[in-house]
Amino acid sequence: MAAVRLCRCRCRALLSRVPGAPRALRGLAAGPEVHFGFQSVTEEDRREKIYQVFESVAKKYDVMNDSMTLGIHRVWKDILVHKMNPSPGTLLLDVAGGTGDIAFRFINYVRAVRERQLQRKLKHHQNLSWQEIFENYQEDKSDSLGDSQVVVCDINREMLKVGKQKAQHLGYSKGLSWVLGNAEELPFDDDMFDVYTIAFGIRNVTRIDLALEEAYRVLKPGGRFLCLEFSHVSNPLLSRLYDLYSFQVIPVLGEVIAGDWKSYQYLVESIRRFPPQEELKAMIEDAGFFKVDYENLNFGIVAIHSGFKL
């Protein structure tokens, strides 16, 4: 808990000195040319363009996710959290998690585990009076997360704003923190978190190698890295159909639903430029992680990569 309080203090300090786009974003060097979708741009330009993309789509982000994936993204995120299998007391860092989808699922999962633990505990106290059972139940249930915490870190203010509004609307507050920060330069101490997740965010990071090094740095020894991301379809026929849907349908949906063709054209292009499963696996291993593997979902449309800091 002290670590979380330290995190919040550091994050408040970070927020107080950021007038617009995050300072960490501006402070990184322009660097060589990189890809923004199918365009070649400098690293600095790419960071600014991606910031603008998510600033533009933030308010319609969840609606567009449902539209683009026909709602299947919800199943993929459920699978990610079940793969994580967090227990009460887990400290999670969810990077690029602005709208809170992973954070809310984490909280729900831990609450369910905690409730099952409580039920098992009560079954072993059959000799207690009704009053004693009631009092024990109320005392334990008041700590429904068992000291678990999730810190949502995102580089984009608008995405965090949407996430906070969702949390308030859905009634999530306890065990949840929101932090403005860059995946390439995280505002957290070393060896701080039990689990690091990044869902549909790492392909938007300009320097994936830096983001992976930062993930390794902030995880405790024994901590787990989990990445859910669009990937590469191996079946040739399905790949052609997927390309047709991606390039001909998704930008149109972006224009109709969000009034933003260009941002969703970029998102499609960014998926095609992203490293395939084996290449990303090698990058995660290069960052220092062990026992790295991945699971393809829906024929490789998305993949979950996992690794451990040992």
- Consult the annotation and say whether 206 binds a ligand: no
- Consult the annotation and say whether 99 binds a ligand: yes
- Consult the annotation and say whether 189 binds a ligand: no
Rounded average pLDDT over 43-48: 82
User: Residue 244: pLDDT above 60?
Assistant: yes
Is residue 145 a part of any domain in this protein? yes
Rounded average pLDDT over 167-171: 96
pLDDT (tens digit per residue) in 178-208: 999 999 999 999 999 999 999 999 999 999 9
Alpha-carbon distances of 160 from 112, 139, 172, 216, 299, rounded to whole Å:
26, 33, 14, 23, 32
Q: Which domain holds residue 213?
A: 71-231+274-309
User: Residue 20: pLDDT above 50?
Assistant: no
Is residue 255 a part of any domain in this protein? no
pLDDT band at 2 (very low <50, low <70, confident <90, very high): very low
3-state SS, residue 195: strand
Predicted confidence at residue 3, as pLDDT, reads 45
Q: Are 269 and 38 in contact (CB under 8 A)?
A: yes
Q: Where are the alpha helices (DSSP H) in the chain?
A: 2-16, 23-27, 43-57, 61-69, 72-84, 101-123, 130-141, 157-170, 208-218, 236-248, 250-253, 261-273, 277-286
Alpha-carbon distances of 226 from 183, 265, 276, 295, rounded to whole Å:
14, 26, 16, 11
**DSSP secondary-structure letter at 31?**
-
Is residue 3 a part of any domain in this protein? no
Is residue 125 a part of any domain in this protein? yes
Is residue 222 a part of any domain in this protein? yes
| Residue 111: both structure tokens together | 């609450």
Q: Are 180 and 15 in contact (CB under 8 A)?
A: yes
Predicted confidence at residue 24, as pLDDT, reads 40
Predicted confidence at residue 126, as pLDDT, reads 64
Rounded average pLDDT over 203-216: 96
Is residue 121 a part of any domain in this protein? yes
Is residue 35 a part of any domain in this protein? no
| The one-letter amino acid at 278 | E
Sign, Cα dihedral of 180, 186, 189, 190: positive
Q: Write out 167-206 in H/E/C secondary structure.
A: HHHHCCCCCEEEEECECCECCCCCCCEEEEEEECCHHHCC
pLDDT (tens digit per residue) in 143-157: 778 789 999 999 999
Number of independent structural domains in the chain: 1
Sign, Cα dihedral of 228, 169, 146, 129: negative
Query: For the whole model, what pTM was predicted?
Result: 0.83
More confident call, 65 vs 93? 93
pLDDT band at 93 (very low <50, low <70, confident <90, very high): very high
- Consult the annotation and say whether 183 binds a ligand: yes
Share of the chain above pLDDT 90, in %: 58
Is residue 169 a part of any domain in this protein? yes
What are residue 304's DSSP bridge partners?
A: 228, 295
CATH number of the domain enclosing 131: 3.40.50.150
Rounded average pLDDT over 19-44: 56
